Amino acid sequence: MTANTLMALTLLIPLTGAVLIALTGRNGNLREAVTIITAILLFAVVVQVAGLPTDNPRPVWVMGEMLPGLEISFSPEPLGMIFALIASGLWIVTSFYAIGYMRAHKEIHQTRFYVCFAIAIASAMGIALSANMLTLFVFYEVLTISTYPLVAHAGSSKAKRGARIYLGILLGTSIGFQLVAIIWTWVLTGTLEFTDGGILNGSASGVVISVLLVLYVYGIGKAALMPFHRWLPAAMVAPTPVSALLHAVAVVKAGVFSVLKVAVYIFGIDLLQQTAASNWLAIMAAVTILLASIVALRQDNLKARLAYSTVSQLSYIVLAAMLASGTAIVGGGEHIVMHAFAKITLFFCAGAIMVASHKTKVSELNGLGRKMPITFFAFFLASLSLIGLPPFGGMWSKWLIGMGAAETDQWVYIAVLMISSLLNIAYLMPVVVRGFFYKPGVGGMENHHQGDLFKKPEAVDPSNPVLPTVWKISKFEEAPLLCVASLSFTALGTVALFFYADVIYSYLLPIIAR
Amino acid sequence: MTSQLIILQVIVPLISAPFCVLFRNARLAWLIALVVSWITFAIAIMILGIVIDQGPVSYLLGNWQVPWGIEYKVDLIGAILLVLVSAIAAVIMPYALKSVEKEIERPRIYLFYTMLLLCLAGLLGIAVTGDAFNLFVFLEISSLSTYVLVSMGKNRRALTASFHYLIMGTTGATFYIIGVGLMYMITGTLNMSDLATLIPAVADNRTIQVALAFILVGLGIKLAMFPLHAWLPNAYTYAPSVVSVFLASTATKIAIYVLVRMVFTIFGKVEILDILPIRYLIMGLAIIAMFSASLIAIFQVDLKRMLAFSSLAQIGYILLGLSFDSITGLSAGIVHLFNHGLMKGALFMVAGAVYFRFGSTKLEQIEGLGKTMPWTMAAFVVAGLSMIGVPLTVGFVSKWYLMMAAFEQGYWPIAMLIVLSSLLAVIYVWRVVELAYFREPAATSQLKGGIAKQDPPLSMLIPMWVLSLATVYFGIDATRTMDIALIAASSLKGMMP
């Protein structure tokens, strides 16, 4: 197949999947089969696209002209392909997980859930492959809107409030800052193509460049740089598969990916080094890393704790971009992968715990590890990866970002990374410790009903099939097999990534070669 | 043949209006209106094609030579307006059948269509004529019929709304004709092209400047420029649904067209926007309108009223584009004329569908409609996203060019204001979306076997979706509309693209 066909397929497959899911919505099993097949097909195609030459000249597929002189066009590029591979690959795992979770958790509107999910993945693919800033922006906004129904899924007043914050901050920052920056760039340079070495060089004064950088970085609200991070904890009202794939991988990674993309291909590393604002934004990223970790420490709700942890981890990548060093940027790209595997595992575990025991708070987890050993062990592995210990993938990306800080003589950020690792231990390990070493039965058994979050369907409905919430093996009471299998897979992935980090590294190297 | 098209564009609806009265039959009147609107749409498309290929076309009434006789002349911007007005008319006629039967007593329906056709003829006439006085005639034809149409609303307040509109509208038209009279006094001509050549010599004349002032204020009322907009919210709210759709999409747009004609054609050679500080006046008023009207829209409890205030804000965008006085700004304004016509038409059609079912457009009626009127509310979401200016919709295209125009002249604070005010649109659109999708439907629509589907009949649903999908189509591929708008803007500015 030609490069153009392949790139077209990456968009068409999930969109067709969405239509088919909607059409087969009456029959739960058929619908889920469609989801899985779509996800597998998509991943296969993305692997093909990733195999295309990513050196110059890259193949470019022009889908059409949107405004005179401005095209919607796509092109495979190392950073984007890494993001696409992660999002599409983990979609397969998440789909399996979601089947177990949605059924055992007796969620309603499952068809809408799977349809929106597929559209969200399609827009993530659009972002990953975009060849210019306009294309990226278009799909960025589609992603925001298609995930809105997922966040508001439960329909309760709490979900509605969360979804309102979600939409408000993401639309507000993207229209209020990012769009302004894009149009300004277009007026200044007459192009929005992602170009090696950047396009802004020499087109405006230092002050304007600084303002633009701030507009871009804050305009990409999905990167959750403080103070525009509130949407991410708010989005945790969504069903856990959404939190896992979208708010630990696809959506947030679309954000930090866009930041990297803007840094490398709109500004260029050289220009970034000379821009005063990059120093300030690096400080802001460091502050976010530390503050969000501290806030995470204080969260009793497990998903909220993980959300703040994500806010903190995303800023590693923003920091990597703002250090304006090639090594750090490759490290940032690698951190997209490493964090994705670790964080999706953690969310899978949180969801499994919620399904099997209806526990949502860290303080209620005492002794639960003895009942759910696989889940808690997976949580342990993923935590270690997030902390950045060997032999887990998370070590390498931290290492590279730290190297980048050293290369550019910004030693203070190495200290920030180390303090952050310590904080990671402090907010993740209690979960494992409570699970395995505390005595069970202390606190919180009465908390079976989480209000309207757990709305149960009145009648048995073929489009909302249900599963038993617990999978009993001997004396253990794990979540359904599909959930446990998925989270074990991603947990093992964090280990595997330690050994294969080099592959990612050499794949990403071309982006800083010039 | 080509020049005859221009006169046919006006004559066809004008002549057929009396036929509706002749037969006094509701269905027959509707049929006539339907056929006529489709014919005028076809003619408009043909004219647009000809103008794109060959440049402006003109037709001399009774073959009296210019400047003695009346000349009809259509250039690109005129052709764009012809297409917009006739397209909206063609789309709402099928919609009107059921909606009008519901809202107007049967014996008066034929009168309704008569007035609608007259209004259509008037609006089209304004866009084709090249004569400043003849323009006044058409302005009055369209206005008088509009007053009648508004007064036909079911709510008794439609009468006061219409009366208010009548007073304001007549004042506006009178101001306009005073201005034209003053110009005639100095130059001795009413032909627009002729005026354009004669004005530069007398531009410093106090009488001409007074004339301009009268014309601007008069048109300001007609196009609902802040703070001359007071007639609009009530007129749009209490008019029959079909009339709200038609007026919101066309009437104010035509008034803006006249303003463009005056400023850029008749006064085009004297850079009037720079000589007098009108430019900054319009810019300031436009920005105030964008914010104040959007803010007021947020607090409305009636869907139609909310949309009316939103229209005021959108008129602000268009005027802002014009006030930049650059090709980009002008083309942004022109394209937004068209784009806003599409999306506001779709939104008012949704309001009309809600009225069709519940006899009210209060926001509490919207609760739960996501379930009971799924197709109607989905159309609202699509057109509403366009109102916000989300990519892949026409709203995005307008905003992109508007902001580009601001940046080109270094007005970056204005660019920021544009995005800020569009964030206000997020609030008032999303308020409705949340009501529709997160509230349970009213008890009356809960049936035993589930929920009653209450989408309006297809004759209303299809036109609604035609407009909604058009907002997406022209948002994904904006090259055609933008190219035309850019050429129209450059020719108005007297430059070849």
pLDDT tens string B36-76: 999 999 999 999 999 888 888 888 888 888 778 888 888 88
Q: Give SS3 for B72.
A: strand
Q: Which of B385, B438, B479 sits opposite A65 (nearest CB)?
A: B479
| Residue B478 located in a structural domain | yes
Say whether pLDDT at A446 is over 60: no
Question: Could you tell me the pLDDT band of residue B411, with boundaries at 50, 70 and 90?
Answer: confident
Does the pLDDT at position B495 exceed 70? no
Cβ A252 vs Cβ A170: under 8 Å: no
Span A171-190, average pLDDT: 89
Average pLDDT over residues A164-170: 88
Contact A183 B434 (CB under 8 A): no
pLDDT digits (tens, 9 = 90+) for B136-154: 999 999 999 999 999 988 8
The answer to whether A175 faces chain B, any CB pair under 8 Å, is yes
Answer yes or no: is B398 within a domain: yes
Q: Is there a domain that residue B268 lies in? A: no
pLDDT at A388 over 80: yes
Whether residue A455 lies within 8 A of chain B, CB to CB, comes out as no
- Summarize pLDDT for B257-296 with one digit per residue, the tens: 999 988 888 887 777 666 667 888 888 999 999 999 999 9
Report the distance separating Cα A84 and Cα A76, nearest Å: 10
Percent of chain B whose predicted confidence (pLDDT) is above 70: 96
Q: Using CA atoms, how far apart are residues A165 and A170, in angstroms rounded to an integer?
A: 8
Range of the domain at B343: 277-497
Q: How many residues are there in chain A?
A: 514
Pairwise CB contact (< 8 Å): B400 & A184: no
Average pLDDT estimate for B408-431: 88
Residue A449 in this model has a pLDDT that exceeds 50 = no
HEC sequence for A423-464:
HHHHHHHHHHHHHHHCCCCCCCCCCCCCHHHHCCCCCCCCCC
Q: How many CB pairs under 8 A join A and B?
A: 75
Asked, for residue B51, whether it belongs to a domain, the answer is no
Q: Judge whether residue B496 has pLDDT over 50.
A: no
Task: Identify the domain containing residue A422 by its residue range.
Answer: 3-443+471-513
DSSP β-bridge partners for residue B129: B72
Ranking A198-212, A303-317, B467-481 by mean pLDDT, the lowest is A198-212
| pLDDT value for A136 | 92
A63 at interface of B, judged by CB pairs closer than 8 A: no
Residue in A68, A141, A168 closest to B482 by CB: A68
Q: How high is the pLDDT of residue A443?
A: 45
For residue B245, name the pLDDT band (cuts at 50, 70, 90). Answer: very high
Q: What is the mean pLDDT of residues A6-13?
A: 88
Q: What angle do CA B475, B476, B477 make, to 5 degrees?
A: 95
* B483 to chain A: closest CA residue: A68
Q: Does A165 touch chain B (CB under 8 A)?
A: no
- Report CB contact under 8 Å: B407, A171: no
Mean pLDDT, rounded, of chain B: 87
Nearest C-alpha neighbor of A350 from the set A342, A361, A339: A361
Backbone angles phi, psi at A234, to 5 degrees: -65, -30
* A10 domain-assigned: yes
Residue B330 falls inside a structural domain = yes
pTM of this structure: 0.87
Kindly report which listed range (A110-114, B47-51, B209-213) carries the lowest average pLDDT score. Answer: A110-114
Is there a contact between A187 and B482 if contact means CB atoms under 8 Å apart? no
User: Is residue A458 in a domain?
Assistant: no
CA A282 to chain centre: 21
A30 has a pLDDT exceeding 60: yes
Q: Do A171 and B426 count as a contact with CB atoms less than 8 A apart?
A: yes
B181 has pLDDT over 80? yes
Please indicate, yes or no, if residue A460 is contained in any of the structural domains: no
Q: At B91, is the pLDDT very low, low, confident or very high (cuts 50, 70, 90)?
A: very high
Number of domains forming the structure of chain B: 1
Total structural domains within chain A: 1
Q: How large is the angle between the packed helices A412-437 and A373-387, nearest 10 degrees?
A: 170
Mean pLDDT (whole number) for A103-109: 75
